[in-house]
Structure 1
Amino acid sequence: MTRIVAFGEGMIEIAGNIGSTGLIGYGGDVLNVTVALARLGLAPSFMTALGVDVWSGELADAWAAEGVDLSLIARHPDRVPGLYGIRTDAEGERTFIYWRGVSAARFFFQLAESEALLKQAAQADVLFLSGITLSLYNAAAQRRIGDLAETIRERGGQVVFDGNYRPNGWPDARAAADAFDAFAPYVSLALPTAGDEQLLHGIGDGETIARRWHQAGAEEVVVKLGAEGAYVSHPGGTHLVTTEALTPVDTTGAGDAFDAGYLAARLAGRAPAAAAAFGHRLAGETIMHRGAIPPRDAVAAIRP
């Protein structure tokens, strides 16, 4: 089976507004992708750091129950998981607030076991990470992530990158754009979002965004265009793959579900346009539920 390593942060999630009935779960963009891949029959490894507290233990148990491999998780003796809250408006559009500044995941590279875990991760067939992953670390650590990605590509593996941009994770947009551009030459499959590219580079159309990523070295690019669908560009051609208009309950995790669906379908041998259609299907189901990760039974029958 293809060995997939996803590198990022898993956090405690509070979904709901004050005065309403809230839900406590877990999420984080890379974790959302990891869980979705596991539910689709793959066996992804999640690389991160957790604490040794009871919350960290419960998170690890929940992820293992989903089929996620935990062998690349480091443990910090003093830090705990990050926390974020989701608020949704009447249209299901979400906003986030984070408490993650001293979370265990941010100290991954300071832990003694990180070197051994990185060596194991370098044997992956697929490395998945995001712009949020890069935002957790300083420039030196970002270069180490680049080294990992370069090693995997040199071995013939894939590096899949979602240029997920959260402004509060960076000093400014220029810092984020520079970090993404420095990492771009290692990327084989790019999954940018048009809105993020507009904020970082001033370009918002799928064709131009795809061209920019191809010029940086990506072989395949899928630009997420929101309600318009996705612009897919690969050596065999280009496609605009539209999506069904839905009335969402909570748009949290839509892009992550799309990423997982697209990647799973491609690994199953589906053509890029068909993979994008499947990504839309999985994202469409995800936004009909509260929180970043939908109930397992809601997506059990969805297969690429």
Structure 2
Amino acid sequence: MVGIGEAMVLLEPGAGRTLETATAYSVHVAGAELNACAAVAALGGRPALVTRLGDDPFAARVHETARRLGVSLDADTDSARPTGIFFKEPVSSDARRVHYYRAGSAASRLGPEALERALAHHPRAVLVSGLTAALGEQPAELFRALAGHPEFSTRTWLVIDANLRPALGRWEESLAAIRDALPVTRLLIVGADEGEALFGTSDPGEIAHAAMSTGCREVVIKDGKRGCHWIDPEGHPRHLGSVATTVVDTVGAGDAFTGGYLWARLDGADPEAAALIGSRLAALVISAVGDTTGLPGPEKAAEIMRTAEHTTGLIERIRPLTFGERAR
């Protein structure tokens, strides 16, 4: 799979400190699509991220982190604009506040050419998010290109993770971009709270019906502490409670769920098993500081897959499904 989006440097004050009082920061690299790609890589997939970075030291850090996470980076260099940065500060034992400094970043110039770069990798799925749509006019044009591209009516899955962020601005433009792409979307991953903004309802069944009535083929609904809702073959939402036991840092959990669910579906799992796999990854991520720090190593990843298989009995692992078969 290939993600299209922004990878940024993340700075976070040490334990017990705020941005006002911090004298030192831990430094990470993150971004919604990069985090999801990292989850895919942790489970054995082959992800790539198409992005734009500045001609600066932070770009080198992004390249090194992507390599370590197992994500192939397809990054244009923009000498006129910087790599994005954001800060995360604790507001309680299990919650963080995020401050973005990404206006005018290199990735704010991601446009339709990024889609052609993504498709040149011959992916089985392309992942984008509402975060990317909010970065500027050219990313909005990227979404318009998605909506009209014939590739998504044939072989390749278009996957949208709503990831709505009012703090970034361009709110109505982001909503419109996602809605315009829904008719060619193979999989929509959306929060129950985001359903209210996109479809006027936070009810999982109504969200699924509204999305699928546009032509979107599959929906999974993230519901925070309550877990998630997957959709059965009859179109009814089924609830899976959160499997988290330790909550340290919730930022990045939704991205881990997205990567786990998508990879499992591409690998042949049904929605129930995929929801469990995504939930297990999300639980690991929120148990550690950093958006990808808690992702599993190979042995833990194999255990997650075995658990999902034994719990649901529904994973089909003879061969990957193709778009023309069970994907329909």
Q: Same fold (TM over 0.5)?
A: yes
Counterpart for residue 135 of structure 1: 134
- Is contact 1:220–1:234 with CA below 8 Å preserved after alignment? no
Which whole-Å CA distance do the structure 1 matches of 2:156 and 2:245 have between them? 36
Deviations 1:180-232, CA, capped at 9 Å, x for gaps: 21121121101000112224443111111111111111111101111222111
Post-superposition offset of 1:78: 2.3
> Please, which runs of 5 or more residues in structure 2 have no aligned partner?
306-328
Moved over 4 A (4+): 113-116, 295-300
1:227-242 paired onto structure 2 within 5 Å: 227-235=225-233, 237-238=235-236, 239-242=238-241
Q: Distance in 1 between matches of 2:114 and 2:174?
A: 24
**Cα deviations across residues 108-152 of structure 1 (Å, max 9, x unaligned)?**
339xx758625525x3220001110111131x6434434346333
Q: Deviations over 1:238-279 (max 9, x none)?
A: 321222353411100111011111112112211111110111
Aligned to 2:38: 35
Residue 221 of structure 1: aligned partner? 219
Unpaired segments ≥5 residues, structure 1? none
Q: Which residue is equivalent to 1:286?
A: 285
Q: Secondary structure at the match of 1:164?
A: coil
Structure 2 match to 1:44: 47
Q: How far has the Cα of 1:237 moved from its partner?
A: 4.5
Residue in 1 that maps onto 2:196: 198
Q: Distance in 2 between matches of 1:255 and 1:153?
A: 24
Taking the aligned partners of 1:273 and 1:115, their CA distance within structure 2 comes to 30
User: Are the structure 2 counterparts of residues 114 and 163 from structure 1 closer, same or farther at C-alpha, using a change threshold of 3 Å?
Assistant: closer
What is the aligned partner in structure 1 of residue 67 from structure 2? 64
Structure 1 length as normaliser, TM-score? Answer: 0.88
Q: Match of 1:175, SS?
A: helix
The one-letter code sitting in structure 2 at the alignment partner of 1:182 is: D
State the one-letter code of the partner of 2:228: A
Contact 2:111–2:141 (Cα < 8 Å) also in 1: no
Matched residues in 1 for 2:277 and 2:119: separation? 33
8 Å contact kept, 2:281–2:296: no
Distance 2:12 2:246 in 1: 18
- Match of residue 207 from structure 2: 209
- Residues 91 and 68 of structure 1: CA distance in aligned 2, closer, same or farther (over 3 Å): same
Q: How many residues align?
A: 295
Cα pair distance change 1:54/1:34, threshold 3 Å: same
Q: Is the 8 A contact 1:219 1:234 kept in 2?
A: no
Indicate the RMSD between aligned Cα atoms, in angstroms.
2.3
User: Is the 1:131–1:163 Cα contact (8 Å) retained in structure 2?
Assistant: yes
TM-score normalized by the length of structure 2: 0.82
Question: Hey, what's the Cα distance between the residues in 1 that align with 2:199 and 2:115?
Answer: 34
